Amino acid sequence: MAKPTIITAAITGSIHTPSMSPYLPYRPEDIVAQAIEAAEHGAAILHLHVRHPEDGRPSFDPVLFQRVVSEIEARTDAVINVTTGGSAVMSLDERLAAARLLRPEMCSLNMGTMNFALHPLAEKDRTWLFDWEKPFLERSKAGIFRNTFADIEDVAVELGDGHGVRFEFECYDVGHLYNLAFLADRGVLKPPFFIQLCFNILGGIGGSVENMTHMKRVADQLFAQNYEWSVLGGGREQFRLCTVAAIMGGNVRVGLEDNLWRGPGRLAVSNAENVTHIRNLIEALDLSIETPSGARNRLALRGRNHVHG
């Protein structure tokens, strides 16, 4: 029988800005409310960023993270996945600030330096709510998202070896899979791996089914049975790619971090709406969704009772 599908909900991220959707949560109370609702509708994992509550700018403030995480943990059993990607404009120390404080069960870990380009979003004809938004997007044309081998190894040693954190390995191109394999061969990163195949981000691999099946074939060659895989499809590719991934036995990630839309011309009103939609698609295929406890077991997480220490 097919394994149940693990649904990850990525609640707010650092890509989209408040002017793009009135439903994008950026105040702590809204991030908490949407995360809990997403879990109630079937998300086993909640991938979390925080933002400045006054204007929605991406934030690395560990106090904000602690507030958000503690409130979510008090009201749901979902796995908390704290970003170490933060934003491409943050230093590595800034990106790690929350994880160092919280020592969660899981963190994201980006597997290579890349052009992570958002500048086409600044070209849209829209009314900007805050002064920071358009320049923030435009600057990405000349920026990079730094994740060197040294950076990855430092995170793995400090959080993984030091605190028992497991990782969601975010791979935006085929080379990132080889980076993971190289570090695994050296014993820096240890199986079982939870690999997030990321598509349709400008600077990474495009969002097609052909690219997804190619990435899956490469992962099979490199990691054999020592991994679980999931698919992140940016923008309009989200539900198509995630549905195919579920059919192929993979797991899925949805949420307003990756896609603001429920369908053509219609904004999603919450993260829970997109979680519910992918859950309905999965269950229509006679597949089931995974529970938080099931996800913990499959991903070798240490459990809620062993965090923060």
**How many other C-beta atoms lie within 10 A of the C-beta of residue 60?**
20
Whether residue 52 lies inside any domain: the answer is yes
Whether residue 136 lies inside any domain: the answer is yes
H/E run at residue 177: helix 174-185
pLDDT of 44 > 60? The answer is: yes
What percent of the chain has a predicted confidence (pLDDT) above 90? Answer: 94
Task: Measure the CA–CA gap between 243 and 273, rounded to whole angstroms.
Answer: 16
Residue closest to 71 by CA, chosen among 41, 134, 27: 27
Mean pLDDT, residues 66-78: 97
Q: How far is CA 250 from CA 38, 75, 81, 138, 229, in A?
A: 20, 28, 18, 34, 5
Please give the pLDDT value at position 304. Answer: 79
Question: Is residue 306 very low, low, confident or very high in pLDDT (cuts 50, 70, 90)?
Answer: low
Mean pLDDT, residues 55-76: 97
Can you tell me which residue has the tokens 């992918």?
Answer: 278
> Quick check: helix, strand or coil at residue 167?
strand
CATH number at residue 68: 3.20.20.70
Question: Is residue 286 very low, low, confident or very high in pLDDT (cuts 50, 70, 90)?
Answer: very high
Whether residue 2 lies inside any domain: the answer is no
Whether residue 309 lies inside any domain: the answer is no
Under the phi-then-psi rule, with left for phi > 0, alpha for psi from -120 to 50, and beta for the rest, what region is 249? left
Residue closest to 205 by CA, chosen among 116, 131, 269: 116
Please give the pLDDT value at position 309. Answer: 43
| CB contact at 8 A, 109 and 156 | yes
Please give the pLDDT value at position 263. Answer: 87
Q: What would the pLDDT profile of 132-190 be if each residue is shown by its tens digit?
A: 999 999 999 999 999 999 999 999 999 999 999 999 999 999 999 999 999 999 999 99
Q: What would the pLDDT profile of 97-121 be if each residue is shown by its tens digit?
A: 999 999 999 999 999 999 999 999 9
List the domain range (segments joined by +) for residue 282. Answer: 7-304
Whether residue 1 lies inside any domain: the answer is no
Per this entry, what is the length of the chain?
309
Q: If you write DSSP's letter for every residue of 27-80 in order, what string do you get?
A: SHHHHHHHHHHHHHTT-SEEEE-EE-TTT--EE--HHHHHHHHHHHHTT--PEE
Mean pLDDT, residues 34-38: 98
The whole model's pTM is what?
A: 0.97
Question: What is the average pLDDT score of the chain?
Answer: 96
Whether residue 139 lies inside any domain: the answer is yes
Looking at the structure of the chain, the number of domains it has is 1
Q: What would the pLDDT profile of 209-265 be if each residue is shown by its tens digit?
A: 999 999 999 999 999 989 999 999 999 899 999 999 999 999 999 999 999 999 889
Whether residue 167 lies inside any domain: the answer is yes
Please give the pLDDT value at position 307. Answer: 61
pLDDT of 308 > 70? The answer is: no
Whether residue 156 lies inside any domain: the answer is yes
Please give the pLDDT value at position 2. Answer: 86
Mean pLDDT, residues 295-300: 97
Tokens standing for 304?
């809620």
